[in-house]
Amino acid sequence: MSADGIDAGLEREVAALINREAMLLDRRRWDEWIDLYTEDAVYWVPAWASEEETTTDPDTQLNLIYLRNRGGLEDRVFRIESRDSYASVPLDRTVHLIGNILVESVEADRIEASANCIVHIYGKKGAATRGGLYDFEFRRADGALRIARKKITFIDDRLEGPIDIYHL
Amino acid sequence: MDGTAYRGSFRDLVDDRVDEGVFRVDRSIYTDEAVFEAEIERIFEGGWVFLCHEGQVENPGDYFATEIGRQPVFVMRQKDGSLGCFINACSHRGALLTPFRQGNARALTCRFHGWAYDLGGRCIRIKNEESGFSDPDFSRERFNLRRIGALGSYKGFVFGSLTDDVPPLEDHLGAAARWIDLLADQARDGLEVVPGSSTYMIRGNWKLQAENSVDGYHVTTVHRVFASTISHRETRDATSGMRQTESGRIKGNVPTGAYDLGNGHMSIWALHTTPHVRPIYESKDWLEENLDPVAADWILNRGRNLYLFPNVMLMDNPSTQIRLMKPLSPGLAEVTVYCIAPKGESTAARAARLRKFEDFYLTAGMATSDDIAALESVQDGSFGRLSRWNDMTRGLPDLVVGPDQDARNLGFEPAGCCPDWDHEGLFHGFYRAWVDRMEDGNAAG
């Protein structure tokens, strides 16, 4: 047990999963990346509603990305792999650096965690470095921890170049 | 701006000899600093530009801060319900008066030295006035905010001009007004701007964004991958109802058209193959009962993109969008997009509209990101000036001068009509308006 009462083994397992996701994205191992998510996983990148607040309700407010299930992730990968997307050929290079991983709550098989991410991007028009706050919900299925929900508060605006799943 | 004054004739940059089968533009118009400086002065700061939607300044004290050309302004809803628009700079030492892009204020107080202005731009407070302006004749009136030259609203869409030397807004909009009607009139209780927006930078010239927004010809190449991705999704998920995406237009097998609407405004349309998956379809009965049947048919069955010279696009295609553009340099433009939607539409329709918006539009979407990459590529290619011209003659033999039957039926007077959105005649109107405005200085238009 760690000081906050969360099992240290679970903390390591959560950190490994978050780090693994970043590695799979940076190394373009798309199919393994998708397998980290549950079938009904929600993938959500809110838009900014003002300088200080993001949108909070996907049914009534605009988002940068709101995918209702794992199929939405598959769509993104399908488009990238088609090699027919102007914005994705050549593909931007990315490096994710994850930090501040914290398990926030544990309830039976439902685990919530937060993390920070810095993504360095190099593309046709040069380099950019962007930041995001991750809020995860994990579920254990058949013994393995899977991502059931990922919300990315993407702090940048006035965005240059495309924003796709590997930039986030 | 003597240092960057353009030394040639702007007319020479557009080779307009349609009678001889020639219409082409010099690629330097996308890259030349002096051309850009003249555009800011003569087009953006010299005539009507779009500012915001009235829904963004609904109640007294609501403000919306933006720019006209490079000049910061804010639109303010007045106590009597009218609109005011002022230069967004304290009359004292020039600090911006609005802390946020959008907000509400009883008065705007400068955060630098504490001077305050009421909603009508009157200077109502000067910190320590007595100890600094002791002249007995002193009046704060000399520090009232400067109003812009002209301000007008058409069906909720607000336009302004720094100069008062402009034609009435209705004359500026001309034939394009009927196309605004098609968006505004579909909402029984009016349109609203949905919370949330996205701002992105286009590393390309603002005119390339204008061209791209009403370029039907790229759809079957640049958005082929969107159509195949969606088709893959809908087969996999057996998607039904409003969750489906209308992609007939992308496959290139539907009737389409394009218009030169005059004064630089342009539009395109394509017939929807599956109009029932569009959120507006729930209003079909109301539209058919209350609107002119031709307009109702256009609203329900034709996807439309409208470009209003020089800085806004109103899209009603996969979803509904205001796309506001600010030119920053020859090779850089800032774009902010909003979803605009009928007030009171069903929860299911609103959610479907948002998902379609996020799928297609946005730099995080699966189509707009490809548009941006394509036009940025044109920007880079435009430096290849040994090959001087971009050609815009496609469809010339079929170009109709004046209205076609569709335009007569709907009731608008375009300058030119293309019977296929693959044709490029609409751009002739855009570049003719561009030349006129550039040659005439801050003249009408």
Domain ranges of chain A: 8-167
User: Which tokens belong to A1?
Assistant: 């047990």
Residues of chain B with Cβ-Cβ distance to A55 below 8 Å are 195-196
- d(CA A135, nearest CA chain B) in Å: 19
Question: Euclidean distance between the first and final Cα of chain B, in Å?
Answer: 23
Least Cα distance to B187 among B49, B60, B53, B323 occurs for: B53
Average pLDDT over residues B175-181: 98
Above 70 in pLDDT, residue A167?
A: yes
pLDDT, position A19: 98
Q: Which residue of B has its CA nearest to A48?
A: B196
Residues of chain B with Cβ-Cβ distance to A79 below 8 Å are 225-226, 229, 366
More confident of the two residues A3 and B252: B252
pLDDT, position B238: 85
User: Which tokens belong to B368?
Assistant: 């707009």
Q: Which residue of B has its CA nearest to A55?
A: B196
Average pLDDT over residues B406-422: 98
Q: In angstroms, rounded to a whole number, what is the distance separating the alpha carbons of residues B413 and B260?
A: 10
Average pLDDT over residues B104-132: 97
Q: Please state, rounded to an integer, the average pLDDT across all residues of chain A.
A: 96
A133 contact B CB<8A: no
The residues in B 102-141 lying below 8 A from A, measured between CB atoms, are 102
CA-based R_g, chain A, Å: 16
Core vs surface per residue B322-347: b (16+ CB within 10 A) or e: bbbbbbeebbbbbbbbbbbbbeebee
Residues of chain B with Cβ-Cβ distance to A157 below 8 Å are 198-199
* Dihedral sign (CA B368, B373, B374, B378): positive
Average pLDDT over residues B354-382: 97
Dihedral, CA atoms, A57, A62, A68, A70, nearest 10 degrees? -130
Average pLDDT over residues B193-197: 98
Domain A8-167: which CATH class?
A: alpha beta
Residue A160 to residue B201, Cβ atoms within 8 A:
yes
Above 70 in pLDDT, residue B248?
A: no
pLDDT, position B245: 78
Average pLDDT over residues A98-126: 95
A65 contact B CB<8A: yes
- d(CA B362, nearest CA chain A) in Å: 7
A163 contact B CB<8A: yes
Residues of chain A with Cβ-Cβ distance to B335 below 8 Å are none
Residue B358 to residue A61, Cβ atoms within 8 A:
no
pLDDT, position A64: 98
Residue B225 to residue A59, Cβ atoms within 8 A:
no
| Mutation choice for A interface testing from B96, B192, B198, B232 by most A CBs within 10 A | B198
How is the beta sheet containing B116-117 ordered, strand by strand? Answer: B108-109, B116-117, B123-125
pLDDT, position B51: 98
Question: Euclidean distance between the first and final Cα of chain A, in Å?
Answer: 32
- Based on the number of CB atoms within 10 Å of its own CB, is A74 exposed (0-12), middle (13-18) or buried (19 or more)? buried
Least Cα distance to B178 among B57, B237, B265, B248 occurs for: B265
| Mutation choice for B interface testing from A44, A85, A121, A152 by most B CBs within 10 A | A85
Q: What is the pLDDT of residues B295-340, one digit of tens each?
A: 999 999 999 999 999 999 999 998 999 999 999 999 999 999 999 9
Residue B355 to residue A66, Cβ atoms within 8 A:
yes
The full set of domains in chain B, from first to last, is 49-153 (2.102.10.10), 175-439 (3.90.380.10)
Q: Is B430 in contact with B25 (CB distance < 8 Å)?
A: no
- Choice among A146-150, B2-6, B21-25 with the minimum mean pLDDT: B2-6
Residue B377 to residue A86, Cβ atoms within 8 A:
yes
| Mutation choice for B interface testing from A44, A62, A167 by most B CBs within 10 A | A62
pLDDT, position B52: 98
Q: For residue B130, how many C-alpha atoms fall within 13 Å in the half-sphere facing its CB?
A: 0
Q: What is the pLDDT of residues B83-107, one digit of tens each?
A: 999 999 999 999 999 999 999 999 9
Least Cα distance to A13 among A103, A104, A96 occurs for: A103
Q: Which residue of A has its CA nearest to B340?
A: A62
Going along B175-309, which residue ranges are E strands?
Answer: 191-202, 256-262, 265-271, 302-308
Q: In angstroms, rounded to a whole number, what is the distance separating the alpha carbons of residues A144 and A35?
A: 11
B222 contact A CB<8A: yes
Q: Is B310 helix (H, G, I), strand (E, B) or coil?
A: coil
Residues of chain B with Cβ-Cβ distance to A71 below 8 Å are 233, 236-237
Long-range pairs, B296-302, Cβ under 8 A, ≥24: B298/B182, B298/B269, B298/B410, B299/B182, B299/B185, B299/B186, B300/B272, B300/B275, B301/B271, B301/B272, B301/B275, B302/B269, B302/B270, B302/B271, B302/B272
pLDDT, position B1: 45
Residues of chain A with Cβ-Cβ distance to B351 below 8 Å are 58-60
pLDDT, position A126: 92
User: Which tokens belong to A148?
Assistant: 């059931």
Pairs across A and B, CB distance < 8 A:
129
B220 contact A CB<8A: no
Which residues on neighbouring strands pair with residue A112, listed in sequence order? A105, A137
Q: In angstroms, rounded to a whole number, what is the distance separating the alpha carbons of residues B63 and B149?
A: 18
- d(CA A50, nearest CA chain B) in Å: 7
Residue B60 CB neighbour total at 10 angstroms: 16
Q: What is the pLDDT of residues A43-60, one digit of tens each?
A: 999 999 999 999 999 999
Q: What is the pLDDT of residues A3-57, one digit of tens each?
A: 678 899 999 999 999 999 999 999 999 999 999 999 999 999 999 999 999 999 9
Of B102, B339, B370, the CB nearest to A85: B370
A123 contact B CB<8A: no
pLDDT, position A1: 58
User: Which tokens belong to B339?
Assistant: 């979803």
- d(CA B412, nearest CA chain A) in Å: 33
Q: Which are the contacts of B429, defined by CB distance < 8 A and separation ≥ 6? A: B260, B261, B262, B264, B265, B266, B415, B416
The residues in A 70-109 lying below 8 A from B, measured between CB atoms, are 71, 74-76, 78-79, 82, 84-87
pLDDT, position A2: 62
Side chain identity, residue A154: F
Q: Which helix (H) or strand (E) holds B401?
A: strand B400-401
User: Which tokens belong to B161?
Assistant: 């001009």
Cα distances (Å, whole numbers) of residue B191 to B56, B117, B186: 11, 30, 9
Task: Please report the ipTM that was assigned to this predicted complex.
Answer: 0.96
Residue A78 to residue B229, Cβ atoms within 8 A:
yes
Question: In residues, how long is chain A?
Answer: 168
Q: Which residue of B has its CA nearest to A163?
A: B364
User: Which tokens belong to B357?
Assistant: 């918006």
Residue A66 to residue B200, Cβ atoms within 8 A:
no
Above 60 in pLDDT, residue B445?
A: no
Of B199, B236, B350, the CB nearest to A157: B199
Residue A158 to residue B199, Cβ atoms within 8 A:
yes
Dihedral, CA atoms, B401, B406, B410, B413, nearest 10 degrees? 0
Percent with pLDDT over 90 in chain B:
92
- For residue B440, name the pLDDT band (cuts at 50, 70, 90): confident
Q: In angstroms, rounded to a whole number, what is the distance separating the alpha carbons of residues B60 and B50?
A: 21
Going along chain A, which residue ranges are E strands?
Answer: 37-46, 63-67, 93-107, 110-123, 126-141, 144-154, 159-160
Of B201, B233, B358, the CB nearest to A65: B358
Residue A162 to residue B364, Cβ atoms within 8 A:
yes
Least Cα distance to B307 among B180, B405, B154, B185 occurs for: B180
Cα distances (Å, whole numbers) of residue A123 to A33, A92, A103, B173, B279: 22, 5, 34, 40, 37
Above 50 in pLDDT, residue B444?
A: no
Percent with pLDDT over 70 in chain B:
97
